[in-house]
């Protein structure tokens, strides 16, 4: 297993190198002059040139790229010009917020989509099946930022059930002692019930927004995969043997239908990493998505490059986890292939 993991990581190295090159070139092709932005609107040409020299933007692209690669080799992603902090520190502080939101959104989606897809496949053309179709169509049709704004308008503005969408915690609460960076886990470890409840309240609407966005592909794939498996010979044999419907559906059918669902979960998780950018802006969530957007507006290269590289590494690790999970679900799947 260790050999297979190392082999997968080696295969991913060329992809990461390509991400570094493309990200570097694209950030340099963005409109706007970072030196003029940070020098200020009243700066003279001489002052702008001094800032450009200080930032190293007066050098040629190959020299800038070699300097960037040399810093990467030392684990240095540069320094944010807007915050004045190292990009590594900013990403390390903000990544738990984005990860907690994404994982909870995926959990909400899986908790609804997989049972819904199973019931829709077991009882085709029933009201459950029609409900599944309506929900998946709505999830695909609604943009994620629009869903978030609607939820804020209804549950915060009209009903007053949800707290103000202003970050991870209400202003009256202090963050729990950092252990994992996940406020729910850290507050539970500290035994702080009030902080746990406050963090969960703040997480509810953005997590539901992501859950609605990712519900459609998971439910559709679960339904389609279950329909194919339920029509197979071994399922008919299991039913003829007198096994209970629950045993046939869960033990036999769903286990054999899981591989396409797991593949879809991996794709959905990668989609959620991108959708996080919009959701974080809607809910003022202090994650790496909003950090990258603010840096992009300011033509701050280092945070954008660090964000893209972090997303690429997470995507590689996600694919590796899916490959390992394949072998756990179905021993017939050979990871070496």
Q: What are 106's two structure tokens? A: 């995926």
Alpha carbon of 286 to those of 67, 136, 277, 280, 292: distances in Å? 30, 29, 10, 7, 11
* pTM over 0.85, yes/no: no
Q: Are 156 and 205 in contact (CB under 8 A)?
A: yes
Q: Would you say residue 62 lies in a domain? A: no
User: Which residue, 135, 313, 315, is CA-closest to 223?
Assistant: 135
Separation of alpha carbons 20 and 160, rounded Å? 45
Q: Would you say residue 6 lies in a domain? A: no
Q: Are 106 and 99 in contact (CB under 8 A)?
A: no
Output the CA angle 32-292-267, nearest 5 degrees.
125
- At 75, the pLDDT band (50, 70, 90 cuts) reads confident
20-48 pLDDT, tens digit each: 888 888 777 766 667 776 666 777 777 77
Q: Are 30 and 299 in contact (CB under 8 A)?
A: yes
**What is the model's pLDDT at position 53?**
78
Q: Are 105 and 210 in contact (CB under 8 A)?
A: yes
The secondary structure of 166-180 as a DSSP string is SSSS-TTSPPPPPSS
Q: Would you say residue 182 lies in a domain? A: yes
324-333 pLDDT, tens digit each: 776 666 666 5
**What is the model's pLDDT at position 317?**
79
Question: Residues with Cβ < 8 Å from 10, sequence gap 6 or more?
Answer: none
Which residue range is the domain that position 139 belongs to? 87-329
Which comes out higher in pLDDT, residue 130 or 4?
A: 130
Q: 230: domain CATH number?
A: 1.10.3720.10
Q: Would you say residue 41 lies in a domain? A: no
CA 8 to chain centre: 21
Q: Would you say residue 211 lies in a domain? A: yes
- The count of domains in the chain is 1
Q: Would you say residue 251 lies in a domain? A: yes
Q: Would you say residue 195 lies in a domain? A: yes
Q: What are 272's two structure tokens? A: 């959620």
Which comes out higher in pLDDT, residue 107 or 61?
A: 107
Q: Would you say residue 36 lies in a domain? A: no
Which comes out higher in pLDDT, residue 152 or 24?
A: 152
* 3-state SS, residue 86: strand
The share of the chain scoring above pLDDT 70, in percent, equals: 92
């Amino acid at each position: 297993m260790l050999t297979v993991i190392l082999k997968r990581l080696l295969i991913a190295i060329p992809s990461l190198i390509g991400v570094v090159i493309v990200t570097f070139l694209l950030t340099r092709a963005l409109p706007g002059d970072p030196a003029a932005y940070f020098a200020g609107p009243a700066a003279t040409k001489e002052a702008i040139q001094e800032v450009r020299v200080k930032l190293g933007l007066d050098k040629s692209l190959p020299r800038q790229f070699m300097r960037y690669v040399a810093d990467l080799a030392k684990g240095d992603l540069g320094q944010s010009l807007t915050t004045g902090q190292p990009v590594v520190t900013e990403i390390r502080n903000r990544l738990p917020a984005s990860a907690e939101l994404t994982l909870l959104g995926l959990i909400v989606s899986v908790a609804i989509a997989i049972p819904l897809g199973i019931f829709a496949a077991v009882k085709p053309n029933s009201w459950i099946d029609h409900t599944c179709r309506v929900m998946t169509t709505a999830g695909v049709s609604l943009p994620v930022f629009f869903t978030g704004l609607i939820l804020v308008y209804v549950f915060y503005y009209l009903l007053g059930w949800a707290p103000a969408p202003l970050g991870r915690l209400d202003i009256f609460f202090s963050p729990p002692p950092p252990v994992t960076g996940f406020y729910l886990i850290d507050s539970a470890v500290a035994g702080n019930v009030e902080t746990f409840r406050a963090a969960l309240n703040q997480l509810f609407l953005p997590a539901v927004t992501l859950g609605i966005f990712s519900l459609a592909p998971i439910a559709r794939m679960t339904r389609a995969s279950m329909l194919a498996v339920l029509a197979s010979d071994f399922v008919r044999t299991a039913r003829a043997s007198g096994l209970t419907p629950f045993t046939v559906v869960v033990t036999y059918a769903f286990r054999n239908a899981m591989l396409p669902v797991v593949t879809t979960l991996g794709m959905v998780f990668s989609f959620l990493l991108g959708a996080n950018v919009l959701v974080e802006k809607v809910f003022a969530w202090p994650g790496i998505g909003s950090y990258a957007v603010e840096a992009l507006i300011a033509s701050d290269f280092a945070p954008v490059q660090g964000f893209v590289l972090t997303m690429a590494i997470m995507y590689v690790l996600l694919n590796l986890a899916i490959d390992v999970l394949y072998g756990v679900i179905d021993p017939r799947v050979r990871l070496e292939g």
